[in-house]
Structure 1
Amino acid sequence: MSEYKAPIRDIQFVLDEVFRADELWASMPATEDVNMELARAIYEEGARLCEGELLPLNRSGDEQGARLEGGIVHTPEGFKEAYNTFAESGWIGLGGDINYGGQGLPKMLTVMFEEMVYSANTSFALYPALTAGACLSIVTHGSETLKSTYLPPMYEGRWAGSMCLTEPHCGTDLGLLKTKAVPQEDGNYRLTGTKIFITGGDHDLTENIIHLVLAKLPDAPAGPRGISLFLVPKRLLDEQGACAEPNNVSCGSLEHKMGIKASATCVMNFDGATGYLIGEPNKGLAAMFTMMNYERLSIGLQGIGLGEVSYQFARNYALERVQSRSPAGAVQPDQPADPIIVHPDVRRMLLTMRAYNEGGRAFAAYVGMWLDIAKNHPDNEQKANAAAMVALLTPVAKAYFTDRGFDATVLGQQVFGGHGYIREWGMEQFVRDARIAQIYEGTNGIQALDLMGRKVVADGGEAFAGYSQLIRDDIASASGNIYAAALTQALGKLEQATDFVCSTAQQDPAVIGAASCDYLNLFGLVAYGHMWLKMDQAAQTGAGDFYQAKQMTAKYFFDKLLPEADAYYAKVCAGSAPTMAMPAEMF
């Protein structure tokens, strides 16, 4: 198996040299004690864990998978021991609230560690990721009793978390859900219903699992306005807060999946299970989306992480595998053939992977920055502006990261040729594991609709205009950069596409759905162009191979990838007719 090395040098470059994260952290009381020296120590220790403990379990975990035996879900060999090491080292509470045992580190920092974990072992990564997300909803919307009872053991890793939304008859349209929550005389609730596709719904890694469950009260309004959020533990607690008898929660079956096979994806049955209301009645969807915004960024990081490890394996293979001769003449005349890295098409694949991975890593830090400002900045106006930016950028991060991440895994597999299709090389697992990220936490088509309809058209493009101005400000700061003109042109196309859909939607509501995926791809390209402009500017101040490679990759992005913006612009402005004209019976 090829080696994975956490991209620590690139992480440091992004945080320190591109975004000057030290300055941002120092400006907010909640993060003023965080600096790059601390960040480097965290990444170096995290890299050792991911490279030494998690990566070796990746293929064996895929081969064994999670299994349900005698009503108990078992994770693959080595997972429990690795999870204990992970938890005991404090990684689960890395970004958690310090008042309940978390470490309170900024999201800008934690996204980089999450990427490493997804690279090393995506199935494993999902267990702590769901726990961290559940903690976020509890700390934001739960009562003090719920927070003090459940957060400390969850941050410690003794208890895990899950998110229970989807039901057999409803996925995206949560207003159709049927799970019921009946009030009891003691102020608690009894929940009855079935949830499907529940990541980490049951497993043997922890002594308790804290389910966050969407359900409806008996008198709830119809549709999504009638959804409440409940905390439902796998095991109930005694008066001392220790695990006691089982709750009426069970795993009915495990899904048989294309990938992430070591992640237990469960059908969960709630049979009059005891639950506790989180937040206000009928306001559960808003409380759950607090978690889902972070989870969607986390799932986007799954795409980046798998794209990165696939790139590293493919690069190493291309440097070693000999086949045919360079078009410019023999590079290794004393050998029967040259390494395939000499061939233009292999370089095309590797550079495309690298440009998307590194652009995504920078954009993840950028979104993390806005999340940190929205959470920690002392000025309320800046917090509100940052929250609006997070809302706009989250669907782009989730969908574009995972689409390009999947593309990267396919390209990495292609570099291996026939060997990429063979299980032993590991490349086909990356493809399978990456595919789900485009589907769960809201399919990428839904993300595109959210961006186009709710985040752009709904406010007449006001939030987008603020983002566009930020890019223009950075272009002005980099006016001497050779790529400033190209980014200006691509941004202009995105602005025109935004104006076209906003104006056309008034007469043709179908244009939003018809344009949404192409619009998101155009948006993502421009967002990555923004990041590559900033990275190229920062790289010009350094010397050595790292900075030269960064500038060469920037050139590849601007010359070979950004021109796709013209095609996406044309497709957006083609309107809805090409998509909607054909009668259903002709399909």
Structure 2
Amino acid sequence: MPIYNAPVRDMQFILHDVLEVSASGLPGHEELDRDFTEAVLEAAGKLASEVLTPLNVVGDQQGCTLENGVVRTPDGFGEAFEQMKEGGWTALDCDPEYGGQGMPYLLGLATGEVFVSANMAFNMYQGLTHGAYSAIHAHGTDEQKQKYLPKMVSCEWTGTMNLTEPHCGTDLGLLRSKAEPQDDGSYLITGQKIFISAGDHDMSENVIHLVLAKAPGGGESTKGISLFIVPKFLVNEDGSLGDRNNVSVGNLEEKMGIHGNSTCVMNYDGAKGWLLGDLHKGMRAMFTMMNEARIGVGLQGYALAEAAYQNAVEYAKDRLQGRAVTGAENPEGPADPLIVHPDIRRSLMDQKSFLEGARMLAFWGAHQIDRAHSGDEAAEGLISLMTPVIKGFLTDKGFDTTVLAQQVYGGHGYIEEHGMSQFVRDARITMIYEGANGVQALDLVSRKLAQDGGKHVMAFFESVKAFIKEHEGNEALKADFLEPLKAASKDLQAAAMFFMNNGMKNPNHALAGSYDFMHLFGHTALGFMWARMAVAAQKALDEGTGNDDFYKTKLATGRYYMKRQLPMTGTHLARIESGADPVMELDAEQF
């Protein structure tokens, strides 16, 4: 069975050596000293390794079942969910007014990584609840907040998001679900939703669905869509549960992975719902949930890869195959371990350098969200720009990394017994849901680059430029980190300039290069993160703070990324500058 151990030391390095969170001046961050965050992460890691990791394969093998209209989760999930609730993990970064602990979003994201690595399908139940909580917290009335949030914070009630319909995925303008207003201020919701993660299950008393539907007078486009709170059980005035609402599970989807999560077809047959936010402004309210979910899915991409990588490293150290080309390194044994071979080392370094850079980018992004919550508009604009990059790039590369980890096992990686297949299968969905990665790339190029006159992408460029200038006198890092980062940033700026010069004349020139641009941006962002980590690691070595091996390993891993991965920005730029003609040349009949 696969193993997993929370990478607490690396998380602590990012939180304290790089981001210096306790000294950031943000509300609540002064509490995040080294001892406190270490205790939290160690406790999360213990729950993850001892309880959630063993259930991961159980969830994969058993899946969920639908019996007489009730969804049953795999053996052990209910007991584990109770431990999550009792430990306060579901309430970590929620508002204390509704029973939360009021910790920064960054700490919630860090513990979320641990739980996703251990058991992604299980963690989705509380993860989606958190997203629904955030939408109600941001857009709900005081009455709605008091009615729903305390039970959602504790996960006595869980939450979902209902967007997709059989004929309508990305293009929500085609949405058909209807909302008919009633005299008492409620609406009757009618329609069918598909692919609803955690749509129903036996681990909570109630499920609070957030449902997109069209109310009269809104028109045909997405501008006419409203968002509604539709509980599985109606809630009485005193907070107790009332009658069952007219919402039911039509079917459970048969999926490639995340079998332990109940992905449902939901039927709304005149179900009673209440408007969340403004009428016909449902997309604005839903995007509060979607943006958080997209950061969370980016985390899923690299968190699954972290678990796969840990197992690949153990296998590479234990499995004896062949001899090192430079001479036997295990002369007493019949063969050397796999890890002596350069191509295995190349694979493991690809994995390690991506994972540590991805973690830094996700933590940095969460820190921007905390800054935005404190009123920093620049941080809000920056994380809005970076959300499609974090979601799209980290899940694309995260999936690739699980495949690399599986490949280390050779034929055994293809056998279910070793568990590597599950990491690959589970990771594949991250590239699709919460906005397929092609859509993320289109959003980045067509909307986010030009947002607010392009000032957010310019702010990113200025941050990189200022960082390089600040550290240009650091000879230990100049050639290995600063110069490659400068080159990557120039490639990114050249790509943006190509879109500016050519996209207006022919929008296809921009859209045909959007996916490459997302990856170019992703590599540049990871290069920036690695340069920041290198500065912190070199500083720790210079100051003799101890644990030199950790910091030397960090620098060596960063050098690998800068030399072997970051040059991909040049390839992506070349593809972008080839324009739309090679992409659009064939007629549809020629495919």
Do the two structures share a fold, i.e. TM-score over 0.5? yes
Q: Which residue of 1 aligns with 2:339?
A: 341
Q: Which residue of 1 aligns with 2:330?
A: 332
Q: Does 2:391 correspond to 1:393? A: no
Find the aligned partners of 1:276 and 1:552 in 2 and give their Cα distance: 55
Q: Which runs of 5+ in 1 are unaligned?
A: 378-382
> Which of 391, 414, 418 is the equivalent residue of 1:421?
414
Q: How does 1:300-319 map to 2 (within 5 A)?
A: 300-319=298-317
Question: Deviation at 1:561?
Answer: 0.7
Question: Deviation at 1:334?
Answer: 1.2
Q: Which residue of 2 aligns with 1:177?
A: 175
| Corresponding letter in the other structure for 1:446 | V
> Which of 369, 372, 375 is the equivalent residue of 2:373?
375
CA contact under 8 A between 1:188 and 1:276: conserved in structure 2?
yes
Q: Which residue of 2 aligns with 1:149?
A: 147
CA contact under 8 A between 1:460 and 1:502: conserved in structure 2?
no
Question: Deviation at 1:28?
Answer: 2.7
Find the aligned partners of 2:174 and 2:242 in 1 and give their Cα distance: 34
CA contact under 8 A between 1:457 and 1:502: conserved in structure 2?
no
Q: Which runs of 5+ in 2 are unaligned?
A: 542-546
Question: Deviation at 1:548?
Answer: 1.5
> Which of 66, 82, 85 is the equivalent residue of 2:83?
85
Find the aligned partners of 2:517 and 2:62 in 1 and give their Cα distance: 40
CA contact under 8 A between 2:131 and 2:289: conserved in structure 1?
yes
Find the aligned partners of 2:361 and 2:79 in 1 and give their Cα distance: 33
Find the aligned partners of 1:503 and 1:386 in 2 and give their Cα distance: 28
Q: Which residue of 2 aligns with 1:113?
A: 111
Find the aligned partners of 2:28 and 2:211 in 1 and give their Cα distance: 30
Question: Deviation at 1:157?
Answer: 1.3
CA contact under 8 A between 2:21 and 2:32: conserved in structure 1?
no
**Deviations along 1:411-447, whole A, 9 cap, x unmatched?**
0000000000000100000000000000000000000
CA contact under 8 A between 2:322 and 2:336: conserved in structure 1?
yes
Find the aligned partners of 1:392 and 1:201 in 2 and give their Cα distance: 30
**Deviations along 1:184-225, whole A, 9 cap, x unmatched?**
111111100000000000111101000000011022122010
Q: Does 2:580 correspond to 1:576? A: yes
| Corresponding letter in the other structure for 1:128 | Q
TM-score of the superposition, structure 2-length normalised?
Answer: 0.97
| Corresponding letter in the other structure for 1:20 | E
| 1:211–1:329 Cα change, 3 Å | same
Find the aligned partners of 1:172 and 1:181 in 2 and give their Cα distance: 20
Find the aligned partners of 2:461 and 2:103 in 1 and give their Cα distance: 29
> Which of 423, 439, 442 is the equivalent residue of 2:432?
439
Q: Which residue of 2 aligns with 1:380?
A: none
Q: Secondary structure at the match of 1:111?
A: helix
**Deviations along 1:336-379, whole A, 9 cap, x unmatched?**
100000000101111100111100000001111110011124xx
Find the aligned partners of 1:50 and 1:33 in 2 and give their Cα distance: 24
Find the aligned partners of 2:446 and 2:178 in 1 and give their Cα distance: 31
Find the aligned partners of 2:35 and 2:159 in 1 and give their Cα distance: 31
CA contact under 8 A between 1:88 and 1:157: conserved in structure 2?
no
> Which of 169, 192, 206 is the equivalent residue of 2:204?
206
| Corresponding letter in the other structure for 1:560 | R
Q: Does 2:237 correspond to 1:239? A: yes
Q: Does 2:444 correspond to 1:451? A: yes
CA contact under 8 A between 1:5 and 1:51: conserved in structure 2?
yes
Query: Is 195-204 or 32-41 further displaced after alignment?
Result: 32-41
Q: Secondary structure at the match of 2:561?
A: helix
Find the aligned partners of 1:232 and 1:207 in 2 and give their Cα distance: 14
Question: Deviation at 1:529?
Answer: 0.3
Q: How does 1:259-270 map to 2 (within 5 A)?
A: 259-270=257-268
Question: Deviation at 1:458?
Answer: 5.3
Q: Which residue of 2 aligns with 1:19?
A: 19
CA contact under 8 A between 2:304 and 2:427: conserved in structure 1?
yes
Q: Secondary structure at the match of 1:182?
A: strand
Find the aligned partners of 1:351 and 1:182 in 2 and give their Cα distance: 57
CA contact under 8 A between 2:21 and 2:30: conserved in structure 1?
no
| 1:571–1:409 Cα change, 3 Å | same
Q: Secondary structure at the match of 2:512?
A: helix
Question: Deviation at 1:513?
Answer: 1.5
CA contact under 8 A between 2:250 and 2:265: conserved in structure 1?
yes
Sequence identity (%): 47
Question: Deviation at 1:470?
Answer: 0.6
CA contact under 8 A between 1:461 and 1:498: conserved in structure 2?
no
Find the aligned partners of 1:322 and 1:260 in 2 and give their Cα distance: 32
Q: Secondary structure at the match of 2:495?
A: helix
How large is the RMSD of aligned CA atoms in angstroms? 1.1
Q: Secondary structure at the match of 2:364?
A: helix
Question: Deviation at 1:294?
Answer: 0.6
Across the two proteins, how many residue pairs are aligned to each other? 580
| Corresponding letter in the other structure for 2:20 | R
Q: Does 2:399 correspond to 1:406? A: yes
Find the aligned partners of 1:486 and 1:33 in 2 and give their Cα distance: 36
Q: Which residue of 2 aligns with 1:163?
A: 161
Q: Does 2:464 correspond to 1:471? A: yes
| Corresponding letter in the other structure for 2:238 | Q
| Corresponding letter in the other structure for 2:586 | M
Find the aligned partners of 1:179 and 1:77 in 2 and give their Cα distance: 35
| Corresponding letter in the other structure for 1:16 | H
Find the aligned partners of 2:181 and 2:117 in 1 and give their Cα distance: 44
Q: Which residue of 1 aligns with 2:564?
A: 560
CA contact under 8 A between 1:230 and 1:277: conserved in structure 2?
yes
Q: Secondary structure at the match of 1:121?
A: helix
Q: Which residue of 1 aligns with 2:214?
A: 216
Question: Deviation at 1:583?
Answer: 1.1
| Corresponding letter in the other structure for 1:282 | H
Question: Deviation at 1:35?
Answer: 3.2
**Deviations along 1:274-302, whole A, 9 cap, x unmatched?**
10111110111010001111100101111
Query: Is 139-148 or 455-464 further displaced after alignment?
Result: 455-464
CA contact under 8 A between 1:92 and 1:156: conserved in structure 2?
yes
Q: Secondary structure at the match of 1:150?
A: helix
Q: Which residue of 2 aligns with 1:123?
A: 121
Question: Deviation at 1:524?
Answer: 0.3
Q: Secondary structure at the match of 2:91?
A: coil
Question: Deviation at 1:463?
Answer: 1.8
| Corresponding letter in the other structure for 1:6 | A
Q: Does 2:518 correspond to 1:497? A: no
CA contact under 8 A between 1:133 and 1:291: conserved in structure 2?
yes
Query: Is 335-344 or 38-47 further displaced after alignment?
Result: 38-47
Find the aligned partners of 2:114 and 2:190 in 1 and give their Cα distance: 38
**Deviations along 1:143-176, whole A, 9 cap, x unmatched?**
0000011000111110000000000111101111
